[in-house]
Amino acid sequence: MIHSDLHTHTTFSHDGRSTATEMAAQAFALGLTHYGFSEHFDYDYPEHDLRIDGVPPAEIDAAAYFAAARRLQREYAPRGMQLLVGCECGFDPSPRCNARYRAMIERFCPDYVINSVHTVAGKEAYFAEYFQGKTKEEAYASYLSAVRASLDAAYPYDIVAHIGYASRNAPYEDRKLRYRDYAARYDDILRTIVERGKILEVNSSSRGAGSEFLPDADVLARYFELGGRLISFASDAHEISRIGDKRAMAEKLLLEIGFTDIAVPCRGKITLLPLAD
């Protein structure tokens, strides 16, 4: 059984709905042995003056977050749950944005870093505006090229998050971002992840993406074929009700493909948790 969930958000993130205390308590009640906070550090947003409903999202209070999360980490350690204090960095290629992430990581030493692509050439790929004036092929190809660029981020990271994010809310009847439609781009991304020893995330918050997970099962199978073995599990929960969501389904799929473990990175070391346990 999967006993980890490393991608969750609390009210320290602008869109979190449950407090860190509530989220940790729920993870513990579910019996997770490795549970991580990965609050949004959306330093890509101010680069392009991006807004949500006309308002720039409030930036995280990093000092308050890390202090509170470390307190909870100390509280749960003796109770048998390793609470990991992580962060999710929204990639942007600008040197200033990369430098901000590097400085934040050096200052606060998160246990692990999730690297994500939410914005592509200054547009949020979850919003309708991103798709305006683009064919589906252009929208998805640009997104995948941003994912490839994010692998060269100038700050340390452990996990490559939710590949296929642009399909979550895309304005197409068939939204799925399939391996076979972008095989060369996917191969370049997956090979780079394997070569660099990064962890590919399986994200169960697929929403309308047309597949149960991000990335799609075909992409996970291709990653395995290319030698990829490092997988992390992510609910991307923003409230207590979704922590660990679809863990059993993810486990079944991963075992079918051939994966044997779930990876948990912490301060540069990776712990492997057997899937079938």
Binding site for Zn ion (CB under 5 A): 88, 116, 236
CB of 237 to Zn ion, least distance (A): 9
Residue 244 token pair: 């660990």
Nearest 5 degrees, angle CA 273-CA 15-CA 189?
50
| CA distances from residue 194 to 126, 178, 221, 259 in whole angstroms, order as listed | 27, 20, 13, 14
Return the residue nearest Zn ion (CB atom). Answer: 116
Residue with smaller CB distance to Zn ion, 142 or 187: 142
Rounded Cα–Cα distance for residues 266 and 110 (Å): 9
CB of 47 to Zn ion, least distance (A): 16
Rounded Cα–Cα distance for residues 237 and 81 (Å): 18
Residue with smaller CB distance to Zn ion, 73 or 115: 115
Helix (H) or strand (E) holding 88, with range, is strand 82-90
Residues in Cβ contact with 121 at an 8 Å cutoff, skipping those fewer than 6 apart: 142, 146
CB of 206 to Zn ion, least distance (A): 12
CB of 16 to Zn ion, least distance (A): 10
Measured between its terminal Cα atoms, the distance across the chain in Å is 6
Residue with smaller CB distance to Zn ion, 88 or 111: 88
CB of 269 to Zn ion, least distance (A): 23
Residue with smaller CB distance to Zn ion, 7 or 224: 7
CB of 144 to Zn ion, least distance (A): 16
Nearest to 156 by CA among 191, 114, 97, 107: 114
Residue with smaller CB distance to Zn ion, 224 or 233: 233
CB of 7 to Zn ion, least distance (A): 5
In residues, how long is the chain? 277
Residue with smaller CB distance to Zn ion, 126 or 226: 126
Question: The dihedral of CA 41, 34, 191, 251: what is its sign?
Answer: negative
How would DSSP label each residue in 116-171?
E--EETTEETTSHHHHTT--HHHHHHHHHHHHHHHTT-SS---EE--TTGGGTT-S
Residue with smaller CB distance to Zn ion, 42 or 251: 42
CB of 60 to Zn ion, least distance (A): 12
Residue with smaller CB distance to Zn ion, 22 or 187: 22
| CA distances from residue 12 to 9, 137, 183, 232, 254 in whole angstroms, order as listed | 7, 36, 37, 22, 31
